[in-house]
Amino acid sequence: MALLDILEYPDGFLSKPVLPVTGITGELQQKIDDMAQTMYHAPGVGLAASQVGLNQCILVYDVSPRDENRALHVLINPRIVCQEGEILSEGEGCLSVPDYRSDVIRYSQIRVEGCDRDGKLLVFDAEGYLAIVLQHEIDHLQGVLFIDRISVLKRNLYKKRIKKRLRQS
């Protein structure tokens, strides 16, 4: 397994939708393992393939408490097929948007469809924190960052801060 580099805003790759996975291969399994290791090392609770420069529709997540046994989940070609309700994701952050957190309105309940790492079809309901994590990671696969879901004013303030930091480096 290898640690992958996590792309950070304003990298243009993060704003592009990824391609669907068309076959489960040994190479794909290795990418999944590398993504999982990268997510745990970061540390994060979710990681989309686009965040590590992979143009494939894959995400990994683990919302179990850090001091308990890990419960890695993999979704290939995930999509939200139903959503309802509203929840405030307070102080949402992202490995690709470092040093910034903001409140984001998300659906409180979603139904997700996708495949596991072996290609088996999964359809399940998620609510609360899990629903937030899955919406965040599926957004990544569609080229959407959480800062795209906040007010224009807050987004522009963050962009100015990043431009200033990039000029100074």
Q: Any idea which residues carry the catalytic annotation?
A: 137
Separation CA 47–CA 136 (nearest Å): 9
Q: Are strands 97-106 and 87-94 parallel, antiparallel or unpaired?
A: antiparallel
Which residues pair with residue 87 across a beta bridge?
Answer: 106
Sequence-distant contacts of 144-147: CB under 8 A, at least 24 apart: 144/15, 145/9, 145/14, 145/15, 145/94, 145/96, 145/97, 146/92, 146/93, 146/94, 146/97, 146/102, 146/104, 147/9, 147/94, 147/97, 147/100, 147/102
Separation CA 84–CA 53 (nearest Å): 31
Residue 126 CB: number of other CB atoms within 10 A? Answer: 20
Separation CA 57–CA 18 (nearest Å): 6
